Structure 1
């Protein structure tokens, strides 16, 4: 009985670790990308139990081998989001006198979350220069009017399908466009801001579809990669942010970084798991910010819960242009071809977004 109780979970953990290697854009395979930390923790627990409870024989050695294989695979992906890995984006040097520094608060509010006051208090406390909110309907905007109205510049697209977005800024907004990249019901924001002595930077905010086990992930993957392609055409410093519904270590996100040549400030610092805020053991990094090499990171923090299933994230950046940031690897031919294929496939489909009726 002990062999069964240890062997089956060890085999499952190894299988779950191998599933994401299957190159099929479908939720049944992509879902195991999310829980790498949890799978590694379970495999470590099984490894210890096997060593303690079972005698040394072929069965126990097999179970130990499966657990070690699982841990090795998971560490390959998650170790870069620990202090054991070199930082991809450098810390801001406070001695730089001419640096232009600004802050952002990014939050998926959860459309059905009725506790609007908690987010309002967070905004008042943090007082960010730019606020990007996702899953906002008109009820949310009405409830936050008191704290958001003082911001002079805004882009707003409230919707009732969990894909609404709202952005406000005290930085001068030179342009703010709402674009429907691949789905007519999923907006994205494309803005240009002025900061400091006439310096400009661009920002793309996206909220692609979530992966679910019975549906393909082509829409999500294609939108993320399309944002990466847009970043390659940038003429100014750029930031891409939002609830990407993808984890920081997935193949899609890593491909995005190679294509866009943007940096992930979490690498070498921490995972900053933002979802699910309601379940401590089931958390992973879904809310992201990526930046071009002209920025340095001043601070990054996960904020307390505001009643949503996502934690808010607060960032401070400095636009310095020249620093010691190290760029990601260049994209391979496979990266470019796969991105083109996914974007072309999704662009040719006409359908409702996944998850738009979750609040019903």
Structure 2
């Protein structure tokens, strides 16, 4: 390969990296624009490789410009993902040891996108028995899935089941008492969410909110997904109880949509300062992103967070353990909403609700 051809390839790659770096910074609600923002870690690695090849292969102005642009792109992407590494200050803190009755204030939550077409029920059932969560959130369940996990339902005192054969079914099981149960299609018909109050053994209550908005696809807009995530944040902010929101958000932790959600909700991301905990795609190691999330009120302390072993799904399950306290303590709160942001979000939600269409990807999980 001649240096001229190599140089052309490197410049084309850098142009692609530049587009994938800066386009997602916009609020353009298009699947292609928002979807390429998932690749920040991959583009960071690619950019570093381009810089190394340029240094080793070229001299003079060509090398200077290639390396300079690569450095800029590396810095931009590093800023986005550095928050999800141990070099950053953690946002949700562990308890300081002074919490009384901590065992009675603790809740463990296991959230799993099981992939509807995955029929390895036994692997899921074994995982639930081993982890013994207080609350189990399962998404992409149809009736065969509910039948397949029948044996572990006796572990829980309460159940909420919303089976769909479209990939948008969900269920929530709890060892603790539930109240104020609400199953609603927040934005798009056929995309449900589950919201309920949970009573801990200490007697205190909190709100659990299970969500699974639509995924971004290149040829469609993301208004439905973005609106559902934003609306969940608004509901959390106005709730009288401490809130936990969990599920497959179909969005990465560093996106403009998720960062706006944090500003609107005031909820904390336990990934910040700890790690990526990438959950999708379970079968493709080089293309993995953190899509399955838990966000919690600042009155909670994080006891444990783990990505669990694969269960045959394209998503890894996530396990969390939290303790509810009486104060926000040392937890680092997200920044408040920006000027006009709530009004902008309200308009986006109204527009998304007015659309009459089927949910995205309802045929993807057919056997």
Match of residue 143 from structure 1: 148
CA RMSD of aligned residues (A): 1.1
SS in 2 for 1:34: helix
Aligned to 2:232: 227
2:323 alignment partner, one of 312, 315, 318: 318
Q: 1:70 matched to which residue of 2?
A: 73
Structure 1, residues 55-103: CA drift from partner, whole Å, max 9, x if none? 2x21111111221121111111110001111011111234533221110
Aligned equivalents of 2:226, 2:109: Cα separation in 1: 25
Unaligned 5+ residue runs, structure 2?
Answer: none
In structure 2, the partner of 1:350 is 356
What is the alpha-carbon distance in structure 2 between the residues aligned to residue 242 and residue 297 of structure 1?
A: 17
CA distance in 1, matches of 2:357, 2:6: 49
- Equivalences for 1:140-289 in 2 at 5 Å? 140-289=145-294
* Alignment check: 8 A CA contact 1:11 1:66 kept: no
Stretch moving more, 79-88 or 64-73: 64-73
Residue 48 of structure 1 and its aligned partner are, at CA, apart by 1.1
1:131 and 2:136 equivalent? yes
Q: Select the residue among 79, 85, 95 that pairs with 2:88.
A: 85
Deviation, structure 1 residue 204: 1.0
Preserved contact between residue 101 and residue 202 of structure 2 (Cα < 8 Å): no
**Cα pair 2:27 2:256 within 8 Å, conserved:** no
1:8 counterpart residue number: 12
**TM-score scaled by length of structure 2:** 0.96
Q: Contact 1:111–1:135 (CA<8 Å) still a contact in 2?
A: yes
The aligned residue for residue 42 of structure 1 is 46
**How high is the TM-score relative to the length of structure 1?**
0.97
The secondary structure found in structure 2 opposite 1:241 is strand
1:25 is matched with 29
Structure 1 alignment gaps of length 5 or more? none
1:61 and 2:64 aligned? yes
**Correspondence for 1:338:** 344
Q: 2:108 maps to which residue? A: 103
Deviation of the 1:177 alpha carbon: 1.8
Shift, 1:49, TM fit:
1.2
* CA distance in structure 2 between the aligned counterparts of 1:38 and 1:334, rounded to whole angstroms: 33
Q: Distance in 2 between matches of 1:176 and 1:267?
A: 30
1:122-172 per-residue CA deviation (whole Å, 9 max, x = no partner) reads: 101101000000000011111111012331101110110000001101011
